Amino acid sequence: MRNKTMNVKISGAQGSRDQDAQNLNAPEIKDGGRIGKEALDRILKDQIGAVEYLDTLILNRQASKHEVLNLLSDHYGVAPLEYDEMIQAEPDIIRLLELDQLMEKLWYPISVRGKKAFVAASDPRNPEVAEAARKMLNVSEIQFLVSLPSDIRLMIENSWDVNHNFPPSAGRTPLARLRTWLADQRTMLAQYRTSLAKGRTGLAFIRTGLAFVSIALVLFRVFGLGILNVLEALMLVVGIVMFVDGLIWYLPARKVKKTRVDYIPTEPTFGTTVLEFDYQDGKPTFKRTPPIKSAEALRRRWNCLTPVTRRRFLAIDRTDLAEERTILANYRTIMARARTGLAFTRTGIAFSGLGIALLRQFPASAWRIFDLVLILIGIAITLEGFYWYIPGRKTSKVSAEAIKNIQRKVSIWDFMFRPFHKRLHLDDLPHTLTIKGSHALGIWGTTGLALDRTLIADRRNVKSRLRTVMARSRTGMSFIRTGASFFSIGLGLQVYFGSANLLWTLHNAALILVGVFLIADGFYWHLPAEKIKKAFPYCFADMEIVFPDYATPSPLWKKVIFSHEDL
């Protein structure tokens, strides 16, 4: 009967146990939080979820943990074991474990020596635990120790490398794998942006080559055969070579348009939820766990946390920051794609403008076919390039809103180094690690380095936000240049050919209006971005940063100066 009782899971009603504690405390708990052996025997025999009930008494400070453990040791006839961060199974043993089953049965292997295993359990007399331990550890003899359920959960979570109540995905190893995957995605996106930049350079070659070709053809059509045809032919050849070379640079960039780089950003919660990654239908997806019980309260009590617990929180923070950088890199890639598309549009409008000018300037002849082909190619290129304008504008808006939301959140700097006037109580604010010259390197140095990595990651995110703002500014400038192309071609055609033909006049007016709209839209994105850029020291002035070294006294921390010229 007792074994069956001891296997009751933690999912039992907490309120019921608290009520039972209120009913049983008075006759069982003595002064000073001591509990008698008779009371312990009656709890283990009669109380549903007996050991969980003892945890409740300890949690409510109605019983002494050491007293309960010693009494449990006497009751079961085995040695007691209290949780300590240093208690962790060896890696070879952990690989054999199914931690979910350990959490369900509440046992944990301390060590294995040959065919004998030392196992901590909340119910050392449970035959199911003994059988599961023998099978999982491949041993013939089990030496049990007794521990409270809360301590065993902490041991298991320590093997998972997670804080209390956190899922396995919050372990530092899964988070490190996720950050590595995100870094790979950012590398891929950087390659895309480099390819798109090469494509835009290729389009500039194409437009330059088109200028050479158009000049050569106009000179030939105006002056016919003559001694200068050699120069015209040379210009024509140079123009064709530049056109082909630019096309070679552009075509690989065009393939980027078909690549899916769509990520749906999640909402970081400063360690109270955990970012998880999965593939669904061949598409990468991010999701967050539901709010983790007691995580927010645990984070607020930073000064009371152990170094390992702090490092786990900081690993979650770095993963959230890595996700933010990846999302911003994706925004920059989409805007780079839009800029490439608008460069394509400018190339197309150059083709069309040249074809229209030649068509209207010269009388009907066999050259008219060439003029019409130029116009049609230009229209096709303009429409396809303009198609990229819409996602670029949408992304500019989304990225602006995302950065505003990010700036309103509490950063790791705000959390660790909050201004003095915001301090309400010592426990409300993380304190600077106190390191003296006499201190040896150790666990606080490790935690300090984890904090330093997180702070540096936050610096990278600040710069990533700035790069995103500047990408928005460049995208706005691309709108302006494209609008200027429309406007200048429309105005040039109108001024040169006049208003004799109503349809051509309306066509020219439409080009001018489209140009004005694009110019205005470009300034809408460019000017705010320039204002934000001027607020950052990374663009215009030298910058000095202190690099903390938590293994040395703060006066010995080094400084690094970044010069604008060096960047």
pLDDT for the residue numbered 14: 36
Residue 438 falls inside a structural domain: no
**Contact at 8 Å (CB) between 253 and 196?**
yes
Residue 291 is classified by DSSP as P
How far is residue 220 CA from its own chain's centroid?
Answer: 58
DSSP string, 517-560: HHHHHHHHHHHHHHHHHHT-TTTTS-EEEEE--TTS-GGG-EEE
Last residue of one domain, picked from the residues 131, 160, 189:
160
Same domain for 413 and 505?
yes
Same domain for 217 and 151?
no
Q: How far is CA 130 from CA 136, 232, 463, in A?
A: 10, 94, 55
Residue 245 falls inside a structural domain: yes
Q: Supply the pTM of this predicted model.
A: 0.69
**Contact at 8 Å (CB) between 216 and 235?**
yes
Distance CA 183, CA 175 (A): 12
Residue 443 falls inside a structural domain: no
Put the strands of the sheet holding 141-146 in their side by side order.
Answer: 79-80, 141-146, 116-121, 107-113
Distance CA 505, CA 484 (A): 18
Residue 167 falls inside a structural domain: no
Sign of CA dihedral 317, 323, 329, 332: negative
**Contact at 8 Å (CB) between 170 and 316?**
yes
Comparing C-alpha atoms, which of 132, 131, 106 is closest to residue 120?
Answer: 106
Angle at the Cα of 484 from the Cα atoms of 481 and 489, rounded to 5 degrees: 130
**Contact at 8 Å (CB) between 203 and 340?**
yes
**Contact at 8 Å (CB) between 250 and 337?**
no
Same domain for 79 and 111?
yes
Same domain for 333 and 476?
yes
Tokens of 401: 């809103």
**Contact at 8 Å (CB) between 519 and 479?**
yes
Last residue of one domain, picked from the residues 107, 133, 160:
160
Neighbours of 70 (CB within 10 A): 14
- Residue 561 belongs to domain spanning: 537-567
Same domain for 357 and 219?
yes
- What are the start-end ranges of the H helices in 224-306? 229-256, 295-300
Last residue of one domain, picked from the residues 125, 160, 195:
160
For residue 139, the domain's CATH number is 3.30.300.160
Secondary structure (3-state) at 225: coil
Secondary structure (3-state) at 227: coil
One pLDDT digit (tens) per residue for the chain, 567 residues: 333 322 222 223 333 334 443 443 433 444 444 566 666 666 666 555 566 666 666 656 566 777 778 888 888 889 999 888 778 787 778 777 887 888 888 899 988 888 899 999 988 888 999 999 998 898 999 999 999 888 898 888 888 788 888 888 888 888 988 899 899 889 988 988 888 888 889 888 888 888 888 888 888 887 877 777 888 899 989 999 998 998 888 888 877 755 555 567 788 888 899 998 776 666 767 788 999 988 988 888 887 787 888 888 999 999 999 999 999 998 998 898 889 888 888 888 888 888 898 888 888 888 888 888 888 988 988 888 877 778 888 888 888 888 888 888 888 887 877 665 455 555 555 555 555 555 555 545 677 788 888 888 988 898 898 889 889 898 999 999 999 999 999 999 999 888 888 999 999 999 999 999 999 999 988 888 888 777 765 555 555 667 666 666 667 777 766 654 544
Secondary structure (3-state) at 384: helix
pLDDT for the residue numbered 480: 93
Comparing C-alpha atoms, which of 238, 254, 258 is closest to residue 202?
Answer: 254
